[in-house]
């Protein structure tokens, strides 16, 4: 039995022994939850690691929230990351590693209760809109688990065919200001639906999830968000280094070439195209920030303002050129690190920064404990973050695992990132001196003890892949 399972059993014991609600008070007064998922938002603006990105609404929300500086996804692409969050089970136990696998239609998730279903079984009113699972579910399952028709909407709007820039014919890798009405964006339509939900009176406590499609590509956004930035003076990412891959094993090179065309056409070979895409990514960040702000403002004007947990998380991070790579689908810091914050009723511990490593699979057991939900059928792999919400500065010795395939995994402690590939090759980065993960220390004998201690967290086995596509 590996250490993760041991933790899970400990957690189970904690639930059975202490059903009292640490955050919620009495069962009759359980908190509502407003969950907002941002898609592909990395740490650029959220933790100020790229100059100039404007996220005024998230900045204000942080003043009322516990913000996690070391939050990491369980899987570095949309579908598998969300499968891990909504099942509470790590990718190496489900085989949901890649997009396009539809893991909820395969064992074990086809018979695993989702977090939404658990809220529903626990007496909550469930409400959802936008990009939530990003995978097909069995017929009728999605409709049954939400009280509303969970309108999705898709990635658009797209530019008309032939007008894509900088790569003609690539509908997704574009950056273009949009002059149509805001309602051309599914995010805005889903926002309106969420605002209307929050304005109504509900008898039961609710679990409302708003899944945004931005800042994911295509980088279309209302023009006012592009106007916040000067395209020609967008800085190239501070974490970029031309020779960065020289000390990376071949498997890392392969991952950095998943979208080879994009890097080769719009990366270092064409800095104007690179700045153009950075301009779009920044605008898409600010658009998503605005959408988050409108939803939270609607909550704060509603009767639910004082008894609602707000949780905001991104499903994965994002490279904008670091490690000669665009997008996600690697297990480096740029793909793995995600924005995450929780605002508790009464703004308890608001304005604090928790530096302990946490994982997106911790969301499931956290909400189970914080909301006093029924006991789930599955044994979640994460740990409830309630102790960190109570005391963001307490000790926490659990690292965060990010997995992208059978045997492709990283282990992130508060200071180090250790990576292991299926052929046994490794990387180690010391974030105390190397926040951009430039210098691979895995072969340095001085770090043998560190490598050994992080290796101890590796899964003993990996579930066979449920399929899907790279990227």
- Catalytic residue positions? 78, 134
Q: How many angstroms separate the CA atoms of 231 and 271, rounded?
A: 11
**What stretch of H or E contains 49?**
none
Nearest 5°: the CA angle 76, 80, 81 is 55
Nearer to Ca ion by Cβ, of 170 and 231: the residue is 170
Residues numbered 96 to 115 that lie near Ca ion (CB under 5 A) are: none
Give the range of 37-45, 123-131, 302-310, 389-397 binding Ca ion by CB under 5 A: 37-45
Give the range of 181-189, 238-246, 258-266, 304-312 binding Ca ion by CB under 5 A: 238-246
Binding mask 421-450 for Ca ion (x = CB under 5 A): -----------------x------------
Handedness of CA 286, 288, 294, 297 (dihedral sign): negative
Least distance from Ca ion to the Cβ atom of residue 132, Å = 12
Give the range of 198-206, 315-323, 352-360, 381-389 binding Ca ion by CB under 5 A: 315-323
Q: How many angstroms separate the CA atoms of 77 and 221, rounded?
A: 22
Least distance from Ca ion to the Cβ atom of residue 121, Å = 28
Give the range of 7-15, 36-44, 276-284, 399-407 binding Ca ion by CB under 5 A: 36-44
Q: How many angstroms separate the CA atoms of 415 and 435, rounded?
A: 9
Are residues 340 and 313 in contact, defined by beta-carbon separation less than 8 angstroms?
A: yes
Report the chain's terminal Cα–Cα distance, integer Å: 32
Nearest 5°: the CA angle 64, 68, 70 is 165
Q: How many angstroms separate the CA atoms of 275 and 236, rounded?
A: 7
Cβ partners under 8 Å of residue 238, min gap 6: 49, 50, 51, 436
Nearer to Ca ion by Cβ, of 23 and 248: the residue is 248
Nearer to Ca ion by Cβ, of 164 and 315: the residue is 315
Nearer to Ca ion by Cβ, of 236 and 353: the residue is 236
78 binds Ca ion (CB under 5 A): yes
Q: Which residue has the tokens 């100020």?
A: 48
Binding mask 333-372 for Ca ion (x = CB under 5 A): ----------------------------------------
Give the range of 39-47, 256-264, 347-355, 378-386 binding Ca ion by CB under 5 A: 39-47
Give the range of 99-107, 118-126, 237-245, 388-396 binding Ca ion by CB under 5 A: 237-245
DSSP SS3 for 125: strand
Angle formed by the axes of helices 363-371 and 78-87, nearest 10°: 30
Least distance from Ca ion to the Cβ atom of residue 398, Å = 24
Binding mask 244-283 for Ca ion (x = CB under 5 A): x--x------------------------------------
Count Cβ atoms within 10 A of the Cβ of residue 203 and give its class: 0-12 exposed, 13-18 middle, 19 or more buried: exposed
Rg over alpha carbons for the chain, rounded to the nearest Å, is: 21
Least distance from Ca ion to the Cβ atom of residue 328, Å = 7
Residues numbered 168 to 187 that lie near Ca ion (CB under 5 A) are: none
Nearest 5°: the CA angle 363, 367, 371 is 175
Least distance from Ca ion to the Cβ atom of residue 64, Å = 26
Cβ partners under 8 Å of residue 121, min gap 6: 113, 374
Count Cβ atoms within 10 A of the Cβ of residue 106 and give its class: 0-12 exposed, 13-18 middle, 19 or more buried: middle
Nearer to Ca ion by Cβ, of 125 and 283: the residue is 283
Cβ partners under 8 Å of residue 62, min gap 6: 341, 351
Nearer to Ca ion by Cβ, of 247 and 270: the residue is 247
Least distance from Ca ion to the Cβ atom of residue 207, Å = 21
Cβ partners under 8 Å of residue 26, min gap 6: none
Out of 113, 164, 315, 369, which residue is the one contacting Ca ion (CB under 5 A)?
A: 315
Nearer to Ca ion by Cβ, of 251 and 315: the residue is 315
Total chain residues near Ca ion (CB under 5 A): 8
Nearer to Ca ion by Cβ, of 58 and 383: the residue is 58
Are residues 314 and 248 in contact, defined by beta-carbon separation less than 8 angstroms?
A: no
Are residues 73 and 328 in contact, defined by beta-carbon separation less than 8 angstroms?
A: no
Least distance from Ca ion to the Cβ atom of residue 8, Å = 26
Q: How many angstroms separate the CA atoms of 336 and 149, rounded?
A: 32
Out of 42, 147, 266, 316, which residue is the one contacting Ca ion (CB under 5 A)?
A: 316
Least distance from Ca ion to the Cβ atom of residue 326, Å = 13
Nearest residue to Ca ion, by Cβ distance, number only: 78
Least distance from Ca ion to the Cβ atom of residue 244, Å = 4
Nearer to Ca ion by Cβ, of 39 and 322: the residue is 39
Nearest to 22 by CA among 442, 367, 340: 367
Interface with Ca ion (CB under 5 A) = 39-40, 78, 244, 247, 315-316, 438
């Amino acid at each position: 039995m590996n250490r993760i399972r041991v933790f899970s059993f400990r957690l189970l014991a904690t639930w059975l022994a202490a059903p009292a609600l640490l955050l919620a008070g009495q069962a009759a007064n359980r908190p509502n939850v407003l969950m907002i998922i941002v898609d592909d938002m990395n740490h650029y603006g959220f933790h100020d690691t790229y100059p100039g990105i404007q996220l005024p609404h998230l900045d204000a929300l942080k003043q009322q929230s516990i913000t996690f500086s070391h939050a990491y996804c369980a899987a570095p692409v949309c579908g598998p990351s969300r499968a891990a969050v909504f099942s509470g089970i790590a990718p190496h136990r489900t085989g949901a590693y890649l997009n396009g696998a539809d893991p909820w239609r395969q064992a074990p998730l086809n018979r695993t209760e989702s977090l939404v279903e658990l809220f529903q079984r626990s007496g909550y009113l469930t409400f959802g809109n936008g990009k939530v699972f990003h995978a097909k579910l069995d017929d009728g399952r999605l409709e049954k688990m939400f009280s509303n028709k969970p309108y999705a909407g898709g990635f658009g709007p797209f530019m008309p065919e032939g007008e894509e820039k900088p790569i003609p014919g690539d509908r997704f890798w574009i950056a273009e200001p949009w002059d149509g009405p805001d309602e051309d964006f599914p995010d805005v339509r889903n926002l309106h639906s969420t605002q209307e939900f929050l304005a109504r009176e509900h008898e039961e406590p609710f679990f409302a999830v708003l899944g945004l499609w931005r800042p994911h590509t295509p980088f279309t956004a209302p023009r006012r968000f592009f106007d916040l930035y000067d395209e020609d003076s967008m800085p190239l990412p501070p974490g970029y280094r031309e020779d960065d891959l020289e000390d990376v094993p071949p498997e890392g090179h392969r991952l950095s070439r998943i979208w080879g065309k994009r890097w080769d056409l719009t990366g270092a070979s064409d800095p104007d195209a690179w700045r153009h895409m950075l301009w779009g990514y920044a605008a898409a960040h600010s658009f998503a920030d605005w959408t988050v702000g409108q939803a939270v403002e609607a909550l704060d004007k509603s009767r639910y303002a004082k008894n609602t947990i707000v949780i905001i998380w991104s499903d994965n991070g994002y490279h904008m050129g670091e490690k000669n790579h665009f997008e996600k689908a690697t297990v480096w810091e740029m793909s793995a690190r995600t924005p995450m914050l929780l605002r508790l009723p009464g703004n308890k511990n608001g304005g604090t920064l928790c530096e302990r490593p946490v994982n997106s699979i911790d969301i499931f057991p956290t909400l189970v404990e914080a909301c006093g939900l029924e006991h789930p059928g599955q044994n979640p792999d994460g740990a409830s973050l309630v102790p960190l919400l109570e005391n963001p500065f307490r000790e926490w010795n659990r690292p965060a695992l990010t997995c992208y395939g059978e045997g492709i995994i990283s282990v992130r402690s508060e200071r180090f990132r250790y990576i292991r590939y299926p052929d046994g090759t490794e990387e180690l980065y010391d974030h105390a001196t190397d926040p951009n993960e430039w210098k691979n220390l895995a072969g340095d004998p001085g770090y043998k003890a560190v490598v050994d201690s992080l290796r101890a967290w590796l899964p003993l086995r990996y579930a066979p892949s449920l399929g899907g596509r790279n990227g």
